[in-house]
Amino acid sequence: MLPIERYFPEEEVVILDYATFKKMAAELTQIDLNSYKSQQMDRRINSLMSFWNLQSYDEFYDLLRKDPKRYKDFVKKLTINVSEFFRNAERFHELWQSILPELLKKPQIRIWSAGCSDGAEPYTIAIILHELQAQHRARIIASDVDRVILEKAKEAVYALNEVKSVPEELLPRYFDMRDSFYVLKQPIKDMVEFRAQNLLVDEYEENFDLIVCRNVVIYFTEDAKIVLYQKFLKALNPGGYLMVGGTEPILAYRQMGFENALTSFYRKPI
């Protein structure tokens, strides 16, 4: 679990190099910075140092220890949150037309949105299930390492650019207007259970029929990706599906134990 507010006792901090800073920052945030691609991680850290006018890594680390707001900003920078409803609509069309109808041959199914960001992804799945008249036959769990973004997800208030891909006929059916924002209706909100979770550290539940993890592992190293995919495979029921992002094909899916079902969908053999 990711701590948001912590008390850090006064102590002298001496950071000798960038590698030591990353190690200590990882201990502080419980996020393994070495599991992220180094070029992207370096760029994010250096941009914050420049923006905050910090001259050294020990100054940066000391600020994170003592300033809760800057600590939250740092975590937010590491766990970039970009999402929208029906993102890459053709993939959700396949989920709607092919994957979910197959899974719903079972009386009840379990779905996990891993790295759910502001909730647009799991709520999209909830809308599809409602359209399939299966809203009472699925349990949707949504998790993210960022507790702040999870609070936004629970509020379920979205700007126009976040709902621009929602089919036109579904907007008034599932959203109310408040000023210039779109507020998700309560029955859809009630279908999703949010929780804080660090995919790189925490244990996974099992017996899922569908795991959706899109545009998350793109920031991870190849070694970290392999570990995650192996854990996802274990968490799936036989015949269950893993849905990934369009730019994240699993090249070695056979070696990991998956079958390639459709573009962006991988199946655990029965």
pLDDT in tens, the chain (270 residues): 444 444 444 445 454 578 888 788 777 776 767 666 677 677 778 878 888 888 888 888 888 888 888 887 787 676 665 679 999 899 999 999 999 999 999 999 999 999 999 999 999 999 999 999 999 999 999 999 888 889 999 999 999 999 999 999 999 999 999 999 999 999 999 999 999 999 988 999 999 999 999 988 877 888 889 999 999 999 999 999 999 988 788 989 999 999 999 999 999 999
Dihedral, 240, 245, 247, 251 alpha carbons, nearest 10:
-20
pLDDT value, residue 83:
78
- End-to-end alpha carbon distance in the chain: 33
pLDDT value, residue 62:
87
* Cα 239 from Cα 110, distance rounded (Å): 13
pLDDT value, residue 138:
97
> Which tokens is 159 given?
């700007």
CB atoms within 10 A of CB 188: 21
pLDDT value, residue 259:
96
pTM of the model: 0.76
What domains can be seen in the chain, in order of their start residue?
A: 18-78 (no CATH), 89-267 (3.40.50.150)
Q: Residue 122 in contact with residue 243, Cβ under 8 Å? A: no
Long-range Cβ pairs for the range 220-227 (8 Å, 24+): 220/35, 220/36, 220/37, 221/34, 221/35, 221/36, 221/37, 221/38, 223/35, 224/32, 224/35, 224/36, 224/200, 226/256, 227/200
